Amino acid sequence: MSAATAAVLYASVISTSTATNAVPEDVKDKQHHRKEGKGFMNPWESFLDRSFFKILSAMLRYVEVN
């Protein structure tokens, strides 16, 4: 492989992407961010926000039944 070919291959693989400037239209809305500015919300309607103890008790009930 010649030096010129190696340089072209290197430039095609290592060069920065031009798609990084692409931004979704709704990025300014930040629908998944909490209003207080700390943390995220799960955008799925089926998501249930459970505490550690609720999850633990559900797991223990599952083990007892099976």
Q: Print pLDDT tens along the chain (66 aa).
A: 678 887 777 776 665 666 656 656 666 676 777 666 667 778 788 888 889 999 999 999 988 776
Confirm if 55 and 48 have CB atoms less than 8 A apart.
no
DSSP string, the chain: --HHHHHHHHHHHHSPPGGGG---GGGGT-TTB-TTSSSB----TT-----HHHHHHHHHHHHHH-
Q: What tokens does 56 get?
A: 């633990």
Q: What tokens does 43 get?
A: 């955008």
pTM score of the predicted model = 0.35
